Amino acid sequence: MIIKKAVLPLGFAANAVASGIKKSGKLDLALFYSEIPARASCLFTSNKIQAAPIKINQKYLKVNKYFQAIVVNSGNANCFTGSRGLKDALNTTSFVAKALKIRKESVFVNSTGVIGKRLPLSKIRNAIPALVAGLSKQEIDKAKRAIMTTDKFSKEITVKFKIGSKTVIICGIAKGAGMIAPNLATMLIFIFTDANISQAALDKALKINIEESFNCITVDGCMSTNDSVILLANGAAANPLIDVRRNFNPFFRALHLVCLELAKMIVRDAEGATKFIQIEVKGAKNYKEAKIAALSIANSSLFKTAMYGQNPNFGRIVAGVGASGIDVREKDLKIKVSPLHKKEIDVEVSLGRGNGSCVVYTSDLTPEYIKINAEYN
């Protein structure tokens, strides 16, 4: 069953407060908590400049197998802040751990917002008691809004399914609207499940699904410094164990739906966008080649502005394919494009080289995108 809202699984709670990080006074500090220590599977940006929270999370993953909390601030990326930024991220986990009476190594920390500014740590420390005191299932509605920056709407989805006689829930929320490109984009993805699942199965399911969802979207071809996907599984559903050989497919399919729908929501909310564009490349030698061609088209500013202007200059697509470096022959290249006046556009490209295919999702490029990012500070 698909629910188009965030419904936390058994054993999870959330909350959010306005700590004062954002000058607007909007919600800017969120907490997600599992009463039961949970297995974690994570993926982070491949950007060589990584924000302090990512470095702390990677450190904790090396020394800890189970996690119970994720603390997230918006309005400040805590990136390019040196050793002080690392200390701020570490202290944030300590504040939360003390309030929850758990180990700091079981707390993930995440930040999103402006790069190059230190966190107002005193504001965060002062907000933690109320943040913890207000934890409940219902406050997920506040938490999903507190992680947003330029997002116009919250991204959320829940899937319920059966493993044996037990109902299992996977709930996902996301933020992201600009600076979107593999691998990963300016996104924070938090996925919660009460599934009883092995670490190997959890890692396998996330790794495969990331490749076909969050790593197949692009808004502007720009990769950020804070991008994270964190999946927590606390086993509270008490279902028969899911491992790579048993009960894996139902979990995998449900997670696939969560990841793909959240990824599409990010593109639909792309900064300044008026079009949602699906690009399917067929006839490649393999999936990898098809993806290279699809992303080459999707990241072309000329293609994206043509889609905004509803200009049927399909030479932009031809040039994008050629720029990918794939040795495609002109006589084998076939292109189909749906009507450009609609809000959703389908582009189909056949390379005539094999049976490989890939679908990538992108948006148009508009004057509003320039305005948003020219003023973002």
Just list the catalytic residues: 186
59 and 97 in contact (C-beta within 8 Å)? Answer: no
Tell me the C-alpha distance between 67 and 190, whole Å.
Answer: 13
* The one-letter amino acid at 91: N
| Strand intervals (E) in the chain | 2-3, 12-17, 29-44, 66-76, 107-114, 155-163, 166-175, 188-193, 217-218, 228-233, 276-284, 334-337, 344-350, 356-363
Angle at 354 between CA 348 and CA 357, to 5 degrees: 40
Q: Is the dihedral of CA 296, 302, 303, 305 positive or negative?
A: positive
C-alpha 119: how far from chain center: 22
Angle between helix 248-268 and 199-211 (nearest 10): 40
User: How far is CA 328 from each of CA 103, 213, 281, 301, rounded to the nearest angstrom?
Assistant: 55, 26, 12, 22
Tell me the C-alpha distance between 163 and 197, whole Å.
Answer: 11
Nearest to 187, CA basis, from 117, 263, 258: 263
Tell me the C-alpha distance between 247 and 232, whole Å.
Answer: 18
Give the three-class secondary structure for 282: strand
Question: Regarding beta strands 217-218 and 356-363, do their DSSP bridges make them parallel or antiparallel, or are they unpaired?
Answer: parallel
147 and 109 in contact (C-beta within 8 Å)? Answer: no
* The one-letter amino acid at 151: D
Tell me the C-alpha distance between 330 and 307, whole Å.
Answer: 23
Tell me the C-alpha distance between 8 and 41, whole Å.
Answer: 18
